[in-house]
Amino acid sequence: MAKIKAGKGAPYARILGVGGYRPTRVVPNEVILEKIDSSDEWIRSRSGIQTRHWANDEETVAAMSIEASGKAIADAGISAEQVGAVIVSTVTHFKQTPAVATEIADKLGTDKAAAFDISAGCAGFGYGLTLAKGMIVEGSAEYVLVIGVERLSDLTDLEDRATAFLFGDGAGAVVVGPSQEPAIGPTVWGSEGDKSETIKQTVPWTDYREGVVERFPAITQEGQAVFRWAVFEMAKVAQQALDAAGITSDELDVFIPHQANERIIDSLAKTLKLPESVTVARDIRTTGNTSAASIPLAMERLLATGEAKSGDTALVIGFGAGLVYAATVVTLP
């Protein structure tokens, strides 16, 4: 048997830079109320959302990703040619092939970086981060760009009062690169396909094409079931990620959960017994739920506003359609 040489990677990986892009159009709850019977008070108190951003025709999945990635690359202090792989997590790029990641890699000016898309809903950022870490340690890339991007306004039924107010658009990106010390903890992740019906696209695209349905597909969810799953099961997963990283809640500086509902965020923080000193991301208020983009967007904002700082220890957890989840502890860039 011939001897195969293993790749030579870095001892560990870390997030080196972060960038975000929020579409220019800010959409307050009043606009949502034009199509559903609800109130600003109800939406704020039940979800925490006050405004969200909706993309215009020019703010495509690729365009928003390129903006966010350019900032992340600059923040990391590297050049685009050094990026060895581009991972894009999205469920709202409506052209199945080729992957949008290849267009992004090209337009950013990478040197033929490996590029591919993944579909892991609101856990997409954690899935991408985990792949990136493995690639860097194994040696197939020195720097990996992980992008979470969504145009959920394209996949929202504005007449469905259970979901119309929830979703927003945007892109968040991080550059992951080599580290001499552990700066991304073990990922606690998984899927629960037996609950796949709780958040889903209403019908396959083909049903729309073939005229089986008149309405373009949208995301639908069993809000209460997902809410209960998130507060009970995700609290356990978050604790497992802390334990796996050997970090106590007292040692934590920042908590960046998926921005799905502010009441879920509060409940997780309470169950985890996070001390007052821990900064909790509440980007949901002005960004809504942007699925794969939500964690990097929230991370970018906390760092930009000074609520979090470089070197802080942060617990990140994403969860959503699948159902899927991914949690890990990271050192902030």
| Interacting residue ranges for ligand COA, rule: CB under 6 A | 36, 38, 42, 46-47, 122, 161-162, 165, 199, 221, 223-224, 226-227, 230, 260-261, 264, 289, 291, 320
Taking the complex as a whole, the smallest distance from the CB of residue 224 to ligand COA amounts, in Å, to: 5
Q: Which residue is nearest to ligand COA (CB)?
A: 223
User: Based on CB atoms, which residue is closest to ligand COA, 143 or 167?
Assistant: 167
User: Based on CB atoms, which residue is closest to ligand COA, 47 or 65?
Assistant: 47
User: Based on CB atoms, which residue is closest to ligand COA, 197 or 251?
Assistant: 197
Taking the complex as a whole, the smallest distance from the CB of residue 278 to ligand COA amounts, in Å, to: 21
3-state secondary structure (DSSP) of residue 149 = strand
Classify the phi-psi angles of 6: left when phi > 0, otherwise alpha if psi is within -120 to 50, otherwise beta. Answer: beta
For residues 221 and 162, what is the distance between their CA atoms, to the nearest angstrom? 8
Taking the complex as a whole, the smallest distance from the CB of residue 38 to ligand COA amounts, in Å, to: 3
- Catalytic-labelled residue, pool 29, 53, 93, 258: 258
Taking the complex as a whole, the smallest distance from the CB of residue 299 to ligand COA amounts, in Å, to: 17
299: nearest Cα among 138, 151, 199, 184: 184
For residues 279 and 315, what is the distance between their CA atoms, to the nearest angstrom? 10
Distance of CA 266 to the CA centre of its chain: 19
Q: What's the N-to-C CA distance of the chain in angstroms?
A: 44
- Catalytic-labelled residue, pool 29, 53, 93, 289: 289
Classify the phi-psi angles of 211: left when phi > 0, otherwise alpha if psi is within -120 to 50, otherwise beta. Answer: left
Name residues whose C-beta falls within 8 Å of residue 333's C-beta, 6 or more positions apart in sequence: 14, 15, 16, 17, 18, 75, 76, 174, 175, 303, 310
User: Based on CB atoms, which residue is closest to ligand COA, 47 or 328?
Assistant: 47
User: Based on CB atoms, which residue is closest to ligand COA, 116 or 227?
Assistant: 227
56 is catalytic: no
Cβ atoms within 10 A of the Cβ of 316, count? 29
- Catalytic-labelled residue, pool 29, 53, 122, 261: 122
For residues 275 and 259, what is the distance between their CA atoms, to the nearest angstrom? 20
93 is catalytic: no
For residues 127 and 296, what is the distance between their CA atoms, to the nearest angstrom? 13
User: Based on CB atoms, which residue is closest to ligand COA, 90 or 179?
Assistant: 90
53 is catalytic: no
148: nearest Cα among 225, 258, 222: 258
Identity of the amino acid at 154: D
Sign of CA dihedral 218, 224, 225, 227: positive
Task: Give kind and range of the element (H or E) at residue 190.
Answer: strand 188-191
User: Based on CB atoms, which residue is closest to ligand COA, 239 or 289?
Assistant: 289
Taking the complex as a whole, the smallest distance from the CB of residue 314 to ligand COA amounts, in Å, to: 20
Taking the complex as a whole, the smallest distance from the CB of residue 294 to ligand COA amounts, in Å, to: 8
Q: Could you list the active site residues?
A: 122, 258, 289
